Structure 1
Amino acid sequence: IDKNSTRLIEDLQRFLEEYMGFGDFIFRLPDGTEVARAGNPRELLERLREVPIESILHHARQQHFSHWMMARTEIRIAEQLYPKQVDDFAAPEELRRFLIRVIETVLYEKQSDIITRFIPGRSPYEVQFMRLGEGSLGGKARGIGFLRYLLSRLDLRRFFPDITIQIPPTLVICTGEFSRFLEDNHLAAAAVQGKLPFAELQARFLTAEVHPELARDLRAYLLALRAPIAVRSSSLLEDSLHLPLAGLYATYMLPNNEPTVEERLASLLAAVKLVWASTFGDSPRAYYRQTSYRLEDERMAVVVQTLGGGRRGGYFYPSFSGVAQSHNFYPVAYMKPEDGVAQIALGLGKTVVEGGAIVRFCPRYPLLLPQFANIRDWLYFTQKDFYGLDMTVIEGPRDAATMDRLKLLPLAEAEAQRVLPPVASVYQPESGLLVDSFFYDGPRIVTFQKVLRNPRLKLGELLSSLLTVSEKAMRTPVEIEFACDLPEEGRPVFYPLQLRPMAAKKRWEQVKITVEDKARAFCYSETAHGNGSYRGICDLVAVDPDAFEISRTREIAREIGEINRRLVAEKRSYVLVGFGRWGSTDPWMGIGVSWAQISAVRVLVEVGLKGFNAEPAQGTHFFQNVTSLNIGCLSVPYRSNSFLKWEALAGITPLHTTAHLKLLRWPEPLTIRIDGRIGEAVLLLP
């Protein structure tokens, strides 16, 4: 700077901005050509991923990065960058990765302990966890917050440097807004009493007005966010240790791409109201009747979370989603229960949590897949379709049907968008083998072999680390929902979405099943879940094996609901026997009953048939709720040591029949014993 210059003030300002770090960080090439700018540390992080390596080397040699960070009081970042020299790195790209890792880690840790109150104008990508309104965050949001805290302390980025690990930006509408909405619109009495049909209650919620302050704040939030979003429930009791309420409340996913912010706000408000209304749905009511809790004490917060994944054609979805649990109820071979288990599926996670076709593996032994014993199993029991978010602009009335934007898509859609090859193999009929190359013709089979072997992703190791640390921190077995995206260019992105405790086991009742019990039993299972002697049950509802057709599973579910209503009115519990997987929304995997349709059940029996032999589900919402209520669940796979003697039931005159069901009743209760320690169970007739 020349002190005699006629432009001294301007020169001094330029010096402070360009050399002392008080202005934008201007990325330049060695010849001075500007290639990019960053106004804050988060923008700098994004620019570092894309600018030429020559520019990064140019600035690193002159310590521009550390000076610029120090000028912004980012002292922790500056202290880690300043000692490093360009010559300390074996290759230029190692320097880029080092800069990204340091800045990314510190920025994430700064936010991990903070739940920031929403302030209009703040970017959700800069402040990634915000709360709006008064009251509680709810169970799901608490789990997300705790997961953020754990991730910041684990330093996973150091152990998994080739993947990006991030929880999507999250806004929580606290329970106070729910209470204010009910009070302002005089909806509480009608909602709690349950006299209105649920569809009519939803319509009332949709026509009611939210507080103007909430609408104003959500509008400001949407001005800063154009990505697709998930609007999810987070009630006071949800995801608690003894009451998971998994999958009983509503979730809506929105493309968030309407032309105006007013239209996008209308969609978001409709989704929020429908989530609030789901507090009083038929399934939560039925579930609460089996507990000591009261529905009128429930309060609902709402989580608005950016979707993880990418846009592919007219749809948005991740490469795959999954659920991992730190306790495996059905270990095989040399697996141990504490080794955990994971279930993954192509696309959005609805396939996994609702009992669809998945690939199950142990994180410690990811290449051991006993679920598929031969090629026939791969052909018949793997995914044939997947879920994606329809990115068509929402038009017309924003009711419950219109707001359901998830579409079931064929595998060909994923192949056309080049999402399928990284997660699938090709079956060659000539050789009878599965091959990784899509050069060959043949059925596409979602095997995840390439994912589970991927040395960069290290999915099994990553899940095992997360589960171990989370279980230790929560002092109970845990469950983690996640998604993962495998872009064609760039690093894989792993999205931890939710952390919750697995349903607590009740105190074990000592149950002993003798050889005589097995000899007298009409049903025996060596793969059972639950524990104890289930007393006082005189009723059994069975799907008639002679009338069962896989294509009729939805009709069978409706018939079960009708018999269940009758037994609820009579205050009688019962055993329910059927084929395939209970609670699966995939009609080709089992009978998709809801909680309202089986609210009086005490024991479930899943019977396998040739070609219809679904394994017991562990990662589903249905399974979580079964566990929490200690409902017995017996699996009787086709051609196994387990059995069900249909002939023992054939001679009993039904009390009531439908097209596909028989209701049997005895004057004395059935003998039902489940030894939860070894997973063995028997059912004996009176």
Structure 2
Amino acid sequence: MDCMTKASTGMKSLDQVVDYLRLGDNVVWQVDAIDDYKYFVNLFVENALISNRRVVYMRFAQHPPLIEGIEDITVCALNACGGFESFSTQVYDIISREGKEVYYVFDCLSDLLTAWANDLMIGNFFMITCPYLFELDTIAYFTILRNKHSFQTVARIRETTQLLIDLYNCEDCYYIHPLKVWDRYSPTMFLPHALDRENLTPITNSVDAARLFTIMPTIGIENERRHLDYWDKMFLNAVALYKEVLEGKETAAMEQKKVIEQLCKLVIGRDHRILSLAKKYLSLKDLLDIKSRLIGSGYIGGKAVGMLMARSILLKDKDFEWRRYLEPHDSYYIGSDVFYSYIVQNGWWKLRMKQRSNEGYFQVASELREKMLKGSFPAAVKEQFQQMLEYFGQSPIIVRSSSLLEDAFGNAFAGKYESVFCVNQGSPAERYKQFEDAIRVVYASAMNEDALAYRLQRGLDKRDEQMAILVQRVSGAHHGQYFFPDLAGVGVSYNTYVWKEGLNPDAGMLRLVHGLGTRAVDRVEGDYPRIVALDKPLLRPHAGVDDSRKYSQREVDVLNTVSNKLEVVSLNNMDYEGREGLMNLIGVKDYEANRRMKELGMKGPDIWTLTFDHLMTATSFPQIMGKMLKTIKSAYQYPVDIEFTINFSRDLHPHINLLQCRPLQTKGLKSKVHIPSNIREEKVLFKSKGHFMGGNISQSLKRIIYIDPKNYSKLALSQKYEVARTVGKLNKQIQNRENLSVMLAGPGRWGTSNPSLGVPVAFSEINHVTVMIEIAFSSAGLIPELSFGTHFFQDLVETDIFYVALFPEKNNVFFNHLLMNDHPNIFNQLCPDKLQFEEIIKVYDFTNKDLVIMSDILSQNVVCFLEEK
């Protein structure tokens, strides 16, 4: 190699030992004290400045600065406490900005344990940073403290770096022992060298070598414990403390509070409100139980934390015997660090950094998502996956996203990430493959466009969003080839969608289904879960016997253990022989339909209509669920949203499995709105009684995007999808909702997956509008579904989109769509490439008009009208 490509360490004798440094070298010093490293750092920096090299100092540790009093260097102050990704991104951006042939000095990497408590992530950081520095022909100095890291972490650093040097300070003498010097060799290079003033002398004599290693700090100290990660050591200490607590040692009881706080910061998260709850309601035993069921390391994520917190709140409630009702859980957790390790070890980190940029945020995400569906896992993680699956046997399980930001205060991420059912049938190899594929699907969902848009809109796009995973045993029982729970649902402690005057929002609301809870959290096509206002559980949004039948659940989501898939089965095709006690509790026989079947000579099981009325009147179920919501809400000091299942024993005693709990963002009464009583009818666009959500508002509107129901219903399927994409294009043109308030109005259900029931937009295609209207167009079967409690409606609440369902055929509803025709239609100007839809999509401009929408939640009145000047 040409000498021009060589660089100096600042010490001639060390240059001779390692045959100089080369551009691209990463040099890792393993030391006992930071001051020892500091001496060699300053030699390196002073020589670099003499050679007119740019020097950048990466400053992030708690120890004193390595470089002081030297001008002409760039000091970059970094914050490691923000987490692995934000820290690594800061470093990556600095390296990218500084460019080629820069010299770097990093603070001690061991100090990152204070922020991350994890050797694994330090190894990951080095594995992504070192190759990037090498690529840009830099020279970088790093250090780690001896005996502070696991053998595995040191091995990963050794494998990645170009130079690894042991530095000892014994009896006031420095000894340097190169352990790795990439791409060069000499007969004495890898021997220990004693430093005498400026000269390094190799120790070649066996007597001197043996004597040296006897006086050096013992490298064999805690060898067994050094097989462990720093993370594992902390939990081992916690286990020892817990044993002392059980033995009644007073000092251990005093220490317990401090350790609980420390462990919460390791596995629960960084949010101070969640941490405050965790420290209050999670015991040391609870935290050790989490560790015993944790695969990998890191946080367990918002969904897992919410579930554990809610259960613990209830079990600590002395006013009610919750143990009689709560079904035990035996969930597993895949730590958030496994997610980053998956990206790093599959070689995708550079792509991840491109995706973090403004230009690549959406564009690169699709490429990364595809790669994440095909990656491989480390052998140690695969072994833990296998052991977990052996524990569950062939019981169905569900693999659920549990990201760091998910289910937090103000950011629910409802439905943004994937959850995957594993029916878990077949050979061990088949079941393992199904599970691993499910993990990949959940990981890849971090790059879903809806999730990215959600993060961007809330200013979370630069925050760490590691994907932890919650693995739960599916609650339910086998019924022939099907597996499902008796009931499942969603509960909210504050009912912002009160549909009738006199309902108490603070009583809460349930959205209840028979079978798997997928029908409760999603907007279900052509089916209607039971909506329960807990203060008046028999009151329905629709009235009358015919309405009860029409707006009821007709299909059941189940796991088919024969086909090994999630399936939808007609309620009337289910065999309920021997389960009439349950059916009488949740439904009524449809005597008219059963009579017609007999008259036609048709045989089969009885036809049922699910009303859930007997459950509401003959049991204490509504009171129990109301108390559950109030108890958790009181602990959170914030409205909450829960997901649950119910399984009944033979005596019809309910066993509740609390699957999820999160803070619920709500829009309350706000200030009183006085709706004018003398609005002339020709000035009214629409008015309605009830069926709106968003509290009291008085909002001016500048634009209406209107999908003509009649013309839309005539479109071919492919054209309906294209209409949805065009709506998304119009949505993106809304740069600022305060300056351009838009009302979106269309037939049936927005966000449906079935275009025959509405407009199949993704939420990211309507997230900038201010008001959303769903209009019933009965002749084409386009009917709004009053689906408060679903992920879709949670998005509306969080995004502060006011919602109205209009039923023009009802007596108390008025809709004058012709009023819009008197105002400019600017669709062709906004979408000149979509002129084929000019009779379908209308965009009415009200910029110079006084169009306003007003609502009053107490009287349940909502009206949209032109104010008279």
User: Where does residue 693 of structure 2 map in the other structure?
Assistant: 529
Structure 1 position 384 matched with structure 2 position 554: yes
Structure 1 position 319 matched with structure 2 position 512: no
Seen in structure 2, the aligned counterparts of structure 1 residues 371 and 512 have a Cα distance that, compared at 3 Å, is closer
Give the Å deviation of 1:344.
0.6
User: Where does residue 608 of structure 1 map in the other structure?
Assistant: 776
* Residue of structure 1 aligned with 2:707, choices 543, 546, 550: 543
Structure 1 position 213 matched with structure 2 position 380: yes
> What amino acid is the match of 2:728?
N
Query: Is the CA contact (8 Å cut-off) linking 1:136 and 1:301 kept in structure 2?
Result: yes
Task: For 1:61-80, list aligned pairs within 5 A.
Answer: none
Seen in structure 2, the aligned counterparts of structure 1 residues 491 and 666 have a Cα distance that, compared at 3 Å, is closer
User: Where does residue 283 of structure 1 map in the other structure?
Assistant: 450
Give the Å deviation of 1:335.
2.9
Seen in structure 2, the aligned counterparts of structure 1 residues 74 and 337 have a Cα distance that, compared at 3 Å, is farther
Structure 1 position 635 matched with structure 2 position 805: yes
Q: What SS is found at the alignment partner of 2:444?
A: helix
Segment drifting more, 205-214 vs 298-307? 205-214
Give the Å deviation of 1:614.
4.2
User: Where does residue 495 of structure 1 map in the other structure?
Assistant: 657
Seen in structure 2, the aligned counterparts of structure 1 residues 662 and 167 have a Cα distance that, compared at 3 Å, is farther
Query: Is the CA contact (8 Å cut-off) linking 1:324 and 1:479 kept in structure 2?
Result: yes
Seen in structure 2, the aligned counterparts of structure 1 residues 244 and 417 have a Cα distance that, compared at 3 Å, is farther
Q: What SS is found at the alignment partner of 2:308?
A: helix
User: Where does residue 649 of structure 1 map in the other structure?
Assistant: 820
* Residue of structure 2 aligned with 1:255, choices 423, 433, 454: 423
Per-residue Cα deviation, 1:550-605 (whole angstroms, up to 9, x for no partner): 99789645512323224415636632112334335576765453213323322101
Structure 1 position 358 matched with structure 2 position 497: no
Task: For 1:215-234, list aligned pairs within 5 A.
Answer: 215-226=382-393, 227-234=395-402
CA distance in 2: counterparts of 1:385 and 1:209, whole angstroms: 38
Task: For 1:591-606, list aligned pairs within 5 A.
Answer: 591-606=759-774
Per-residue Cα deviation, 1:610-663 (whole angstroms, up to 9, x for no partner): 476545322111111111111111232341434321111245564243674333
Task: For 1:104-183, list aligned pairs within 5 A.
Answer: 113-119=286-292, 130-154=293-317, 158=321, 161=324, 164-183=325-344
Q: What is the aligned residue count?
A: 551
**How high is the TM-score relative to the length of structure 2?**
0.57
Query: Is the CA contact (8 Å cut-off) linking 2:852 and 2:866 kept in structure 1?
Result: no
User: Where does residue 62 of structure 1 map in the other structure?
Assistant: none
Query: Is the CA contact (8 Å cut-off) linking 1:139 and 1:236 kept in structure 2?
Result: yes
Task: For 1:189-588, list aligned pairs within 5 A.
Answer: 189=353, 191-192=355-356, 193-194=360-361, 201-226=368-393, 227-260=395-428, 262-294=429-461, 297-331=464-498, 332=500, 334-356=502-524, 357-366=528-537, 368-392=538-562, 405-415=565-575, 421-422=583-584, 423-429=586-592, 443-455=607-619, 458-486=620-648, 491-505=653-667, 508=670, 511-516=673-678, 519=681, 520-527=683-690, 528-530=692-694, 532-534=697-699, 538-549=702-713, 556=720, 558-569=722-733, 571=735, 574-585=742-753
Give the Å deviation of 1:242.
1.2
> What amino acid is the match of 1:513?
I
Give the Å deviation of 1:674.
4.1
Give the Å deviation of 1:676.
6.1
Q: What SS is found at the alignment partner of 1:421?
A: helix
Seen in structure 2, the aligned counterparts of structure 1 residues 333 and 603 have a Cα distance that, compared at 3 Å, is closer
Structure 1 unaligned runs (5+)?
1-72, 76-107, 120-129, 395-404, 434-438
User: Where does residue 683 of structure 1 map in the other structure?
Assistant: 864
Q: What SS is found at the alignment partner of 1:168?
A: coil
Per-residue Cα deviation, 1:449-482 (whole angstroms, up to 9, x for no partner): 3333443xx2112101101101111111111111
Seen in structure 2, the aligned counterparts of structure 1 residues 508 and 156 have a Cα distance that, compared at 3 Å, is closer
CA distance in 1: counterparts of 2:441 and 2:424, whole angstroms: 17
Query: Is the CA contact (8 Å cut-off) linking 1:317 and 1:389 kept in structure 2?
Result: yes
Larger radius of gyration: 2
Query: Over aligned residue pairs, what C-alpha RMSD do you find?
Result: 3.7
CA distance in 2: counterparts of 1:386 and 1:585, whole angstroms: 18
Percent same amino acid at aligned positions? 23
CA distance in 2: counterparts of 1:173 and 1:614, whole angstroms: 39
Q: What SS is found at the alignment partner of 2:299?
A: coil
Query: Is the CA contact (8 Å cut-off) linking 1:510 and 1:675 kept in structure 2?
Result: no
CA distance in 2: counterparts of 1:118 and 1:496, whole angstroms: 21
User: Where does residue 186 of structure 1 map in the other structure?
Assistant: 347
Query: Is the CA contact (8 Å cut-off) linking 1:542 and 1:576 kept in structure 2?
Result: yes
Q: What SS is found at the alignment partner of 2:630?
A: helix
Structure 2 unaligned runs (5+)?
1-245, 249-280, 597-602, 829-836
User: Where does residue 90 of structure 1 map in the other structure?
Assistant: none
> What amino acid is the match of 2:709?
P
Give the Å deviation of 1:321.
0.9
> What amino acid is the match of 2:332?
L
CA distance in 1: counterparts of 2:406 and 2:644, whole angstroms: 18
CA distance in 1: counterparts of 2:659 and 2:811, whole angstroms: 37
CA distance in 2: counterparts of 1:333 and 1:508, whole angstroms: 17
CA distance in 1: counterparts of 2:719 and 2:328, whole angstroms: 40
CA distance in 1: counterparts of 2:843 and 2:614, whole angstroms: 48
CA distance in 1: counterparts of 2:717 and 2:521, whole angstroms: 19
